[in-house]
């Protein structure tokens, strides 16, 4: 073994404290160090994931106190898969934005890279931790960096978007603390496995209230329908790569948290149908809202919300196929939506309004970027030779296995809506005349490299879905096996 | 009509939430019967194993030290974000706005008080494992000392570079001590120093070291926050 899970948190934190000092020596280090840290963590994550897929989960104790006394981290096939995905995307975001703000002052660049690294660390922490209060701390780290990144361009709109996000995020933290308080007041423990073992002793009213508080709090980060008011503004106002980081990393972490509470900690039987209902409402409302958007990034944001709704629906089936479909969907969404944000922000690079009509005729000026955007659009809708097809197919078969024909019909109908608004953009890119006042901006070498990597992965998964399905099956099995999780954590001596 | 409905809905929700929290009965001696709450283990181990007389400190720095590292990072990030959001304004406007200067009673009084405040802050965080208080509280006390100086002297200035260096070094100490524990004992933040005798200043292993680092860090960060915000020129009095 090359390391242990705690390094995913300790190394970036150490680096974050070091970076301001290193920046005093050589300013370029501020940009380089986060990349080195992320590369190291990616290697570590892949090694640990390989180990875990063969030998079973790693449970790491912190400060020498075994659970339930101390805090512990769990690197299972499920959490390990998500950690690897997040760090991989984080590294791509770093490569994409390496030359970002190149010609501007040193201080904003320092803060941008610090916040980006902390955003990734916080999300990884949410996924790894085995303690509900520790998760709260990581959610704080993630959301504070997200507020800062949203307000990075100091305009009036980004300040408004960030303020909206801060207000909702603070309410979320309050609810989360209340929920943690209810559980601690009853069971006297904060360890997830210990709570899962004792939860049946809890008064059902208190159990339901705390579950609802958890879902409300995490739903704000996971963009569940009535709680996602911040998301379109934040995506539209934040720098382009940050949109990809939100969609690919932060939202995934929040969905993970909801799923961990539903599957492992609480034993409420009705929570699965609850997930299906809120997922379905989110999906339908977001996709119908997306079709009305006139700004490209807002459209992508609504599409991202809709995809998260679909993920929740798939988790709500409560079957192994459903979990598999949901994980596949999360993987594809992370890769495809990042590609769409990366290429989309070059299509409307020099515009102030970022309207969809400004992409008209861009294929002649930015052929590669346009092609990659089109691949992303087709893939996310679920057209055959691309990655998205397999995940959507697995959602539909999982629905059929659970005899939820109505859900199948609704998902297919919503996919048509999705197809319409994505094809509309692709159509504008390829078959419309360029607007007179738009100035195309050539992507940098780094950006092009990142987009090509993502495009290649989409095609690879599209043609050889077996490359990932084996790992996804193991990850879903590890999530479903609650007894094993409790045993793994609490059997440590 | 819509507003009435909203108020009604909130009232119903509020009633049930409040009822839930009344049912919990805070302050009772035990949780659900038959469980072994972790608090009993914490209280027993604090004196027995860690040789620390302040149980709050042992929980914050040792049992749940990982959370504290996270909280320290939250504060660090909050300062970073604040600096990032106010960056442009700070550089365009620059100078502090002063409505009227402080009287000589305030200026000479604060000169007298300042060393005492710093001393009290240092005392609070150095004795964090022995008496009430600790790194966070001590750091805040130190920051109030700088606030007093900034309020009484118009051109009192704190070096941003110095603050940033102190902040970084303190953070590195915390994370570094954690990693040393990882190398020595196999788990992150594990105690690797002798715990000493209960109630001695040099006791508790790594707990005082971490709390002193936290004290410096919180003090530097909150001073930085005050300094950043003070140098914002307001609309009304500018």
Interface list for A 17-56 with B (CB within 8 A): 17-18, 20-21, 24
pLDDT computed for residue B22 by the predictor: 82
Closest chain B CA to residue A12 = B175
Whether residues B81 and A148 touch (CB distance < 8 A) is answered with yes
Q: Is the dihedral of CA A397, A400, A405, A406 positive or negative?
A: negative
Structural domain count of chain B: 1
What was the ipTM of the complex prediction?
A: 0.91
Residue B43: inside a domain, yes or no?
no
Structural domain boundaries enclosing B152: 55-230
List, in sequence order, every residue forming a beta bridge with B224; answer none if it has no partner: none
| A13 in B contact zone (CB under 8 Å) | yes
Residue B17: inside a domain, yes or no?
no
Q: How far is B117 from chain A (nearest CA, A)?
A: 27
pLDDT computed for residue B234 by the predictor: 46
Residue B149: inside a domain, yes or no?
yes
Whether residues A63 and B168 touch (CB distance < 8 A) is answered with no
Q: Is the dihedral of CA A322, A327, A328, A329 positive or negative?
A: positive
pLDDT computed for residue A104 by the predictor: 63
> For A294-342, what is each residue's pLDDT tens digit?
899 999 999 999 999 999 999 999 899 999 999 999 999 999 999 999 9
Whether residues B80 and A112 touch (CB distance < 8 A) is answered with no
Whether residues B71 and A114 touch (CB distance < 8 A) is answered with no
User: Which of chain A's residues have a Cβ under 8 Å away from the Cβ of B206?
Assistant: none
Of the candidates B73, B76, B87, the beta carbon closest to that of A107 is on B87
pLDDT computed for residue B236 by the predictor: 37
If you count residue pairs, one on A and one on B, with CB atoms under 8 Å apart, how many are there?
174
pLDDT computed for residue B90 by the predictor: 54
pLDDT computed for residue B96 by the predictor: 67
pLDDT computed for residue A365 by the predictor: 87
Whether residues B189 and A145 touch (CB distance < 8 A) is answered with no
For residues A249 and A360, give the distance between their C-alpha atoms in angstroms, rounded to a whole number.
30
Residue B9: inside a domain, yes or no?
no
| A204 in B contact zone (CB under 8 Å) | no
Annotate B156-204 with three-state secondary structure: CCCCHHHHHHHHHHHHHHHHHHHHHHHHHHCCCCCCCCCCCCCCCCCCC
CA distances from A104 to A45, A47, A107, A108 (A): 34, 38, 9, 8
pLDDT computed for residue B235 by the predictor: 43
Tally Cβ neighbours within 10 Å of residue B70: 26
Domain ranges of chain A: 7-490
pLDDT computed for residue A2 by the predictor: 62
Of the candidates B20, B37, B81, the beta carbon closest to that of A209 is on B20
Tally Cβ neighbours within 10 Å of residue B147: 18
Q: Which of A283, A391, A288, A408 is nearest to A332 (CA)?
A: A391
pLDDT computed for residue B88 by the predictor: 62
| B167 in A contact zone (CB under 8 Å) | yes
Residue B10: inside a domain, yes or no?
no
| B182 in A contact zone (CB under 8 Å) | yes
Interface list for A 134-153 with B (CB within 8 A): 134, 137-138, 140-141, 144-145, 147-148, 151-152
pLDDT computed for residue A313 by the predictor: 94
Residue stretches of chain B with pLDDT short of 50:
234-238
pLDDT computed for residue B18 by the predictor: 87
pLDDT computed for residue B237 by the predictor: 37
CA distances from A44 to A88, A213, A271 (A): 11, 35, 35
Whether residues B168 and A21 touch (CB distance < 8 A) is answered with yes
Residue B116: inside a domain, yes or no?
yes
Widest CA span in chain B: 69
Of the candidates B20, B85, B185, the beta carbon closest to that of A151 is on B85
Q: Chain-centre distance of CA A422, in angstroms?
A: 21
> For A133-158, what is each residue's pLDDT tens digit?
999 999 999 999 999 999 888 778 88
Mean pLDDT for each 10-residue chunk of chain A (493 residues)? Answer: 84 93 88 94 94 91 87 93 95 89 74 93 95 94 93 84 92 92 88 91 88 92 87 88 91 94 89 92 93 91 93 92 94 94 87 81 88 94 89 92 90 92 92 81 89 94 91 92 91 80
pLDDT computed for residue A418 by the predictor: 92
């Amino acid at each position: 073994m090359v390391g242990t899970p705690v390094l995913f948190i300790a190394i970036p934190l150490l680096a974050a404290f070091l970076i301001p000092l290193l920046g005093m020596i050589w300013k370029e280090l501020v940009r380089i160090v986060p990349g080195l840290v992320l590369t190291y963590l990616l290697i570590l994550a892949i090694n640990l994931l390989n180990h875990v897929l063969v030998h079973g989960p790693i449970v790491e104790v912190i400060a020498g106190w075994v659970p339930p006394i101390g805090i512990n981290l769990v690197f299972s096939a499920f959490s390990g898969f998500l950690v690897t995905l997040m760090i991989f995307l984080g590294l791509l975001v770093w490569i994409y934005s390496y030359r970002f703000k190149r010609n501007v002052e040193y201080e904003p660049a320092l803060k941008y890279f610090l916040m980006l690294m902390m955003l990734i660390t916080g999300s990884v922490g949410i996924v790894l931790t085995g303690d509900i209060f520790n998760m709260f701390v990581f959610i704080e780290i993630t959301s504070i960096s997200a507020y800062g990144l949203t307000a990075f361009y100091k305009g009036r709109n980004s300040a408004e978007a960030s303020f909206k996000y801060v207000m909702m995020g603070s309410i979320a933290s309050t609810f989360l603390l209340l929920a943690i308080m209810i559980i601690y007041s009853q069971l006297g423990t904060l360890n997830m496995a210990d709570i899962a073992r004792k939860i049946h002793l809890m008064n059902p009213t208190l159990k339901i209230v705390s579950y609802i508080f958890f879902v409300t709090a995490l739903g704000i980060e996971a963009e569940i329908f009535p709680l996602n008011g911040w998301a379109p503004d934040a995506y539209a106002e934040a720098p382009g790569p940050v949109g990809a980081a939100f969609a690919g990393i932060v939202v995934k972490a929040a969905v993970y948290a909801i799923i961990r509470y539903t599957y492992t900690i609480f034993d409420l039987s009705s929570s699965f149908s609850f997930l299906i209902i809120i997922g379905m409402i989110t999906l339908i409302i977001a996709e119908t809202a997306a079709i009305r958007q006139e700004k490209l990034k807002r459209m992508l944001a609504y599409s991202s919300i809709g995809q998260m709704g679909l993920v929740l629906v798939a988790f709500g089936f409560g079957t192994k196929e459903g979990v598999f479909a949901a994980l596949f969907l999360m993987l594809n969404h992370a890769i495809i939506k990042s590609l769409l944000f990366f290429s989309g922000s070059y299509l409307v690079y020099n515009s102030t309004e970022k309207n969809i009509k400004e992409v008209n005729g861009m294929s002649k000026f930015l052929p590669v970027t346009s092609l990659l955007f089109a691949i992303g659009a087709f893939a996310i809708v679920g057209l055959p030779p691309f990655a998205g097809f397999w995940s959507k197919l697995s959602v539909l078969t999982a629905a059929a296995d659970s005899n939820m024909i109505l859900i199948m019909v609704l998902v297919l109908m919503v996919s048509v809506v999705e197809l319409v608004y994505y094809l509309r953009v692709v159509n504008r890119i390829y078959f419309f005349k360029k607007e007179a006042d738009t100035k195309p901006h050539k992507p940098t070498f780094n950006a092009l490299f990142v987009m090509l990597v993502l495009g290649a992965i989409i095609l690879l998964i599209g043609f050889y879905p077996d490359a990932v399905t084996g790992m996804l099956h193991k990850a879903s099995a590890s999530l479903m096996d609650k007894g094993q999780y409790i045993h793994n954590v609490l059997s440590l001596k | 009509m819509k507003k009435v409905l909203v108020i009604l809905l909130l009232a119903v929700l509020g009633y049930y939430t409040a009822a839930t929290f009344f049912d919990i009965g805070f302050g009772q001696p035990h949780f659900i019967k038959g469980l072994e709450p972790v608090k009993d283990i914490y209280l027993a181990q604090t004196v027995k194993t860690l040789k620390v007389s302040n149980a709050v400190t042992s929980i914050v720095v040792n049992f749940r030290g990982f959370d504290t590292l996270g909280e320290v990072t939250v504060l660090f990030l909050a300062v970073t974000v604040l600096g990032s959001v106010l960056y442009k304004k700070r550089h365009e406007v620059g100078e502090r706005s002063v409505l009227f200067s402080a009287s000589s009673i305030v200026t000479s009084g604060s000169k007298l008080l300042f060393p005492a405040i710093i001393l009290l802050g240092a005392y609070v965080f150095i004795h964090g494992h022995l008496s009430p208080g600790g790194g966070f509280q001590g750091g805040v006390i130190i920051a109030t000392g700088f606030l007093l100086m900034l309020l009484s002297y118009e051109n009192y200035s704190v070096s941003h570079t110095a603050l940033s260096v102190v902040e970084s070094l303190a953070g590195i100490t915390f994370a570094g001590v954690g990693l040393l524990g990882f190398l020595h004992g196999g788990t992150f933040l594990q105690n690797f120093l002798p715990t000493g005798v209960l109630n001695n200043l040099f006791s508790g292993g790594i707990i005082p070291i971490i709390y002193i680092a936290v004290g410096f860090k919180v003090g530097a960060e909150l001073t930085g926050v005050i300094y950043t915000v003070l140098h914002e020129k307001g609309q009304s009095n500018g």
